[in-house]
Copies of this chain bind each other. A is one copy, B any other.
Amino acid sequence: MTLTLGEICRRAGGDLDGDPDLPIHGVAKIEEAREGELTFIANPKYLKYLSQTRASAVIVPKNAPPAPPHSLIRCDNPYFVFMKALVLFNPPEELYGRGIHPAAVVGKDAELGKDVSVGPHAVIGEKCSIGDGTVLAAGVFVGKGASIGRQCTLHPHVSVREKVIIGDRVIIHNGAVIGSDGFGFVPENGVYHKIPQVGTVVIEDDVEIGANVTIDRATLGETRIRKGAKLDNLIQVAHNCTVGEHTVIAAQTGMAGSTTIGNNVRIAGQVGFAGHMSVGDRAVVGAQAGVVKDVQPGEMVSGYPARPHREELRREAASARMPEMLQEIRLLKKKLSELEERMRKNGC
Task: Give a binary string over A114-146; 1 marks a CB under 8 Å from any B CB, 0 the rest.
Answer: 000001110100000000000001110101100
Chain B CB within 10 Å, residue with most, of A28, A198, A251, A339 = A251
Residues of B within 8 Å of A278, CB to CB, are: none
A2-10, A48-56, A60-68, A179-187: which one contacts chain B? A179-187
Contact call B233/A233, Cβ cutoff below 8 A: no
Q: Is A144 a contact of B326 with CB atoms below 8 Å? A: no
Q: For the complex, is A228 an interface residue (Cβ under 8 Å from B)? A: yes
- Among A103, A183, A208, A210, the most chain B Cβ lie within 10 Å of the Cβ of A183
Neighbouring B residues of A233 by C-beta, 8 Å? 177, 180, 183, 214, 216, 236
The answer on a CB contact under 8 Å between B214 and A211 is: yes
How far, in angstroms, from A70 to B210 measured CA to CA in the complex? Answer: 47
Residues of B within 8 A of A288 (CB): 272, 288, 290, 304
A344 to chain B, nearest CB (A): 10
Which chain B positions have C-beta within 8 A of A196? Answer: 83, 86-87, 90, 92
Which of B185, B228, B232, B269 is within 8 Å of A230, CB to CB?
Answer: B185
Complex contact A95–B143 (CB within 8 A): yes
> Interface readout for A56-83 with B: 1 if CB under 8 Å, 0 if not?
0000000000000000000001011001
User: Residue-by-residue, is A256-297 near B (CB-CB < 8 Å gives 1, otherwise 0)?
Assistant: 100000001000011010100000000000011010100000
The reply to whether B315 and A323 contact each other, CB–CB distance below 8 Å, is: yes
Q: Is A194 an interface residue (CB 8 A)?
A: yes
Query: Is A202 in contact with chain B by the CB < 8 A criterion?
Result: no
User: Which residues of B lie under 8 Å from residue A27 when comparing CB positions?
Assistant: 220
**Please, what's the 1-or-0 string for A143-162, where 1 marks a CB less than 8 Å from any CB in chain B?**
11000000000011101011
Q: Is the CB of A315 within 8 A of B325?
A: no
Would you call the interface of chain A mostly helix, strand, loop, or mixed?
A: loop
Q: For A192, what are the chain B residues with a Cβ–Cβ distance below 8 Å?
A: 228, 230, 246, 248
Query: Please, which residue of chain B has its CB at the minimum distance from the CB of A233?
Result: B214
Per assembly, the copies of the chain total 3
Chain A interface residue count: which class? 35 or more
Given A159-B155, A322-B322, are A290 and B287 also a contact pair (CB < 8 Å)?
Answer: yes
Instruction: A190 to B247: give the CA distance in the assembly, Å.
Output: 9
A residues apposed to B, CB below 8 Å: 27-29, 32, 77, 79-80, 83, 86-87, 90, 92-93, 95, 101, 103, 105, 119-121, 123, 137-139, 141, 143-144, 155-157, 159, 161-162, 171, 173-175, 177, 180-181, 183, 185-186, 188, 190-196, 198, 208, 210-212, 214, 216, 220-221, 228, 230, 232-234, 236, 238, 246, 248, 250-252, 254, 256, 264, 269-270, 272, 274, 287-288, 290, 292, 304-305, 314-323, 325-326, 328-329, 332-333, 335-336, 339-340, 342-343, 346, 348
Task: Please determine whether A181 and B173 come into contact, CB atoms closer than 8 angstroms.
Answer: yes
